[in-house]
Amino acid sequence: MRIILYLASIILANVITAAFQPIQFSVFIIPMGTLLIGATFILRDLVQNKIGRKKTYLFIGLALILSAVVSSLLGDTLYIVIASAISFLLAETTDTEIYTRLKLPLAWRVFYSGIVGGLLDSAVFVIIGLSPIGANILPWEAVPAAIIGQVIVKTLIQGIGALIVSKIHTFQHE
């Protein structure tokens, strides 16, 4: 079930991002799919807990392919598809390796690894995909606000997810 939720959240994040306009909150620009991207890191951690690090990489690869196919089918430009793939691969592998190496309680590993993964995902995607380097959707002046907005949302999702994971983990071990 964890694997299905992980893969479904990645596909759904692509669909939601394509279907809805980004939220403009003050100077921050936040694609709607960002809410699910934060959750994908948590779900990936839970998949890793269940099946181990090596097998998790198989599902990261499958998720990468599914994400690229869905993104292409939704009409994203090649720049967006490539930026999404690069940012996904960097963020998911970094999250996986940090999560693996931290010797902390489960909730803290989920939180810290997800923050780093979310930061990488946001920065790489916005710079390669949306800035003048890529699809030229955002001018350089808007790039920092787009990155920061996504990082804030992903960090909040990570925090909420870590709290939920902590409560569930505590409940299961009582």
pLDDT, tens digit, 9 for 90 and up, residues 121-134 = 999 999 999 999 99
Amino acid letter, 140: W
For position 173, what pLDDT does the model report?
60
Whether the CA torsion 126, 128, 132, 134 is positive or negative: it is negative
Got the DSSP string for 112-165? Answer: HHHHHHHHHHHHHHIIIIISTTTT--S-GGGHHHHHHHHHHHHHHHHHHHHHHH
Q: What is the pLDDT of residues 87-131, one digit of tens each?
A: 999 999 999 999 999 999 999 999 999 999 999 999 999 999 999
